[in-house]
Structures are given as C-alpha cells and as structure tokens.
C-alpha cells in the first residue's frame, strides 16, 4: 500500500511546482553563475561511465580538472574514458572500479584513490540505481539494495576519502538526490523495508534512498562545520537517461506516463549535469552548505522533509547517520 507521508494537497502542490520548474528550466535554461577555476582540481565522479556522471566527467575534463571516473562495469568505463579523452584532449582522466553495493569494493576504490592523490577537491556522489521490482531486493549484507547502493556506499566512500577532501583548500561534496524523496516510505526502524510497502509504482525504495542522500548531506554539513569542506545535495530534475529504464520496461500505464513525461519535459544529460556542476563549482554558495539545490537554485524543502520523516529533520538526519555507521560497522566520523 502506498503510504503518502505528506497531505494529498501538499503533494499536489509540490508536484505541480516541480513540473512548472522543470518546464521553466527546459525553456529558459540555467541561471548565470560564476565558477571556481577547476584547472588542476582533483574531482571524483561516481557512476561516470554513463548518464549524468559521464556528462559531469566530460565537463570537468573540459575545464582542466584531474578527473577520477568510478564505475561498476570497467569495460563500459574504459569506453567512456576513451570518449571523453578524445572529445576533450585531456590526459588527466583515470578510471577506478567501484561497486557501491559491495563494501569491499568501496574500500578498494577509496584506497586506490588515496594512494594516488594527497587531496580530493570535489567528490560527486552521483551513481545510483532505480529498479522496478515487485519485492524488496537485498545485498549480501542484508541491506535493501537501493539504500545500500545510493546511500550506504556513498556514505562509506565519503568517510574513507574525507581526510583527502579536508586537504583541499576548498573541498566540496555533492550528493545527487531527487525531489522524488517526497514519495518515500521511510522509517529508521525499518531501513530494509521488511514491513514497509514499496509505494506507488514500487518507487518507495528509490525515493527512500534519495531522502537518505538529503539527510546525509545535512548531517555531514553539521559535522564539517569547523572545516573548509562544504557539502550540497542536488536534484538534477527529470532527466532523459537510462536510470529510469526499469520503471517503463513493460507496456502499461506507468510505461506511458514515465516515457511520455521524459519525452515532453525531460532534460538532456548535459542540462541535468549543469545543476550538479553548479553545486561543485559555483562561487558564493558556501554559506548554504547542507542545503539542497535544483536547477542552480536553492530549494526550501523543510516542510516536505519534516512531513516525510515524521519528526524534525535534524533529529532524523542524526539518527540515520548513527544507523548507517552501525550497518557499516564504522567508528563515528569526525
């Protein structure tokens, strides 16, 4: 059963506002911004072999950054790396294997990056999955697969690279989320979703993981308040990539709704990536660390977050942090 945590009226307002902003972005383009010089910056992009991650890696390479592409499928990663090198002429692009659902893979990836680089200037936690499954999918550790891949894997990677990010003069961590968090069916007590419903169109597991991205960003910002590192979550909008393929694989009403929406108002990968680049490079946004952006603009989702979480956002963000550490058997991050 679909458990909508916000009122139907609030959900409809939120939905139509999101559609309006999506159409406005598609017609008017992004707001103007001033960017930090990316030349020589060490930038890690997860899920860089396709979709938004590939577009971000391409743009960072064009700007002269040292780009570290991480991906699960090495063969696809090599193909994307060669394409980016050919397009940009950059010789500062490396590839590291990363399966975010596998804790040992995350550790190996972080070790390889740390052994090669004394600092990381920008970490873009972009990779993610969106599966249309009639039942809950679990990892070998017993964690719900979306939560493990989209949140826990990035949580661990961030922890393992944090010392390198702190070595940067102005480190940034960007967590790619989604305003779809409003459809989450979320409970700290049941992160494996053994008792919770999968939601409308089985979207809840994905939406839960995107809510976790937002909460992680907020709590991370608090814990890094006395450092030079800033962190942001970003909703890239409805983007026409392969991420949503599973949700319209079968020709039913959901198929036509999603595919039709992508065709009518979906952004290109390049346009979707621009919002991520804003959080990674824009000047003058440092004071908004911990907040969420969409289309280069600061979004105030506090009311929706509180409704979905069922308690004050700061409280549930701290609880999620503690639970994530417990699931990964980590000592507390400092």
Q: What is the pLDDT of residues 211-250, one digit of tens each?
A: 999 999 999 999 999 999 999 999 998 887 776 555 545 5
Q: What is the pLDDT of residue 306?
A: 80
All structural domains of the chain, each given as residue ranges with its CATH number in brackets, are 8-25+35-328 (3.40.50.720)
β-bridge pairing 297-299 and 292-294: antiparallel
Q: What is the pLDDT of residues 265-293, one digit of tens each?
A: 778 889 999 999 999 999 999 999 999 99
Active site positions, annotated: 206
The DSSP result for 170-228, as a single string, is T-EEEEE--GGGGG----GGGTT-SSS---GGG-HHHHHHHHHHHHHHHHHHHHTTTSS
Q: What is the pLDDT of residues 124-135, one digit of tens each?
A: 999 999 887 777
What are the C-alpha distances in Å from 210 to residues 130, 172, 178, 243?
Answer: 10, 19, 6, 14
Percent of the chain having pLDDT more than 90?
Answer: 63
What are the C-alpha distances in Å from 156 to residues 149, 245, 325?
Answer: 10, 27, 9
Confidence of residue 11 (pLDDT cuts 50, 70, 90): confident
Q: What is the pLDDT of residue 85?
A: 98
Do the Cβ atoms of 158 and 188 come closer than 8 Å?
no
Q: What is the pLDDT of residue 253?
A: 52
Q: Which of these, 107, 221, 232, lies nearest to 173 by C-alpha position?
A: 232
Confidence of residue 260 (pLDDT cuts 50, 70, 90): low
Rounded Cα distance between 255 and 3, Å, is 22
Tell me how crowded residue 259 is: count the other CB atoms within 10 A of its CB.
17
Q: What is the pLDDT of residue 200?
A: 57
The pLDDT of residue 263 is above 70: no
- Enter the tokens of residue 132: 């249309």
Q: What is the pLDDT of residues 135-193, one digit of tens each?
A: 788 999 899 999 999 999 999 999 999 999 999 999 999 999 998 888 888 889 889 88
- Look up the pTM and report it: 0.92
């Amino acid at each position: 059963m679909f458990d909508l945590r916000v009122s139907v009226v609030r959900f409809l307002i939120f939905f139509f506002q999101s559609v309006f902003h999506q159409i406005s972005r598609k017609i008017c383009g992004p707001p103007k911004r001033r960017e930090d010089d990316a030349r020589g910056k060490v930038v890690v992009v997860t899920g860089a072999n396709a979709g938004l991650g590939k577009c971000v890696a391409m743009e960072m390479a064009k700007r002269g950054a040292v780009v570290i592409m991480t991906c699960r499928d090495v063969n696809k990663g090599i193909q994307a790396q060669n394409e980016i090198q050919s397009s940009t002429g950059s010789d500062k692009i490396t590839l590291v294997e990363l399966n975010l659902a596998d804790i040992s893979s995350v550790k190996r990836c972080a070790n390889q990056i740390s052994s090669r680089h004394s600092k990381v200037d920008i970490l873009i936690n972009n990779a993610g999955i969106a599966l249309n499954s009639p039942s809950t999918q679990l990892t070998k550790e017993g964690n719900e697969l979306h939560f493990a891949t989209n949140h826990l894997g990035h949580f661990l990677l961030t922890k393992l690279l944090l010392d390198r990010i702190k070595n940067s003069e102005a480190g940034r961590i960007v967590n790619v989320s989604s305003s779809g968090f409003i459809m989450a069916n979320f409970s700290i007590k049941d992160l494996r979703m053994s008792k919770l419903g999968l939601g409308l169109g089985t979207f809840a597991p994905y939406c839960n993981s995107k809510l976790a991205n937002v909460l992680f960003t907020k709590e991370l910002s608090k814990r890094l308040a006395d450092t030079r590192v800033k962190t942001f979550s970003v909703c890239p909008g409805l983007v026409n990539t392969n991420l949503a393929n599973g949700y319209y694989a079968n020709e039913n009403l959901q198929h036509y709704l999603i595919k039709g929406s992508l065709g009518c108002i979906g952004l290109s990968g390049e346009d979707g990536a621009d919002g991520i680049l804003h959080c990674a490079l824009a000047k003058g946004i440092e004071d908004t660390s911990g907040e969420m952006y969409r289309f280069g603009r600061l979004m105030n989702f506090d009311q929706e977050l509180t409704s979905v979480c069922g308690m004050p956002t700061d409280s549930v963000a701290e609880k999620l942090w503690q639970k994530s550490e417990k699931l990964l058997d980590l000592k507390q991050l400092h």
